Amino acid sequence: MAALLIDFLIVMLMSMIISAHIPFPYNWIFSAWIYEATQVSGPYQATIGQRIVGIKVCNTRGGSLPFAEASLRHCCKYISLLIACWGYPLILLDKRKQCLHDKIVLSVVVTEESFQAAS
Tens place of pLDDT per residue across the chain (119 aa)? 899 999 999 999 999 998 888 888 888 899 999 999 999 999 999 999 999 999 999 998 889 999 999 999 999 988 888 876 777 777 788 888 888 889 899 999 999 877 665 55
Q: List the one residue out of 54, 34, 31, 30 whose CA is nearest residue 42.
A: 34
Q: Which domain holds residue 112?
A: 2-118
pTM (predicted TM-score): 0.85
> Strand 107-111 relative to strand 55-59: parallel, antiparallel, unpaired?
antiparallel
Q: List the one residue out of 31, 116, 114, 113 whose CA is nearest residue 74.
A: 31
Count of domains in the chain?
1
